[in-house]
Structure 1
Amino acid sequence: MNGQNRKDIAAGLEVAIVLKADQRTGKLTRGVVKDILTNSSFHPHGIKVRLLDGQVGRVQEIFNPKST
Structure 2
Amino acid sequence: MSGQNRDEIRIGLRVAIVLKKDQRSGRLTHGVVKDILTKSPFHPHGIKVRLSDGQVGRVKSVEGDPDFQFAT
The bucket for the TM-score relative to the shorter chain is: over 0.9
Paired residues of 1:19 and 1:56 also in contact (CA < 8 A): yes
- Moved segments of 4+, more than 4 Å: none
**Partner of 2:52 in structure 1?**
52
Unaligned runs of 5+ in 2: 66-72
Q: Secondary structure at the match of 1:41?
A: coil
**Partner of 1:38 in structure 2?**
38
Structure 2 distance, partners of 1:53, 1:6, is 21
**Partner of 1:62 in structure 2?**
62
**Partner of 2:2 in structure 1?**
2
Correspondence 1:18 to 2:27: no
Structure 1 distance, partners of 2:15, 2:64, is 8
Unaligned runs of 5+ in 1: none
**RMSD (Å), alpha carbons:** 1.0
Deviation string, structure 1 residues 23-45 (Cα, Å, up to 9, x no partner)? 00000000000000000000000
Amino acid at match of 2:28: L
Structure 2 distance, partners of 1:33, 1:62, is 10
Amino acid at match of 1:19: L
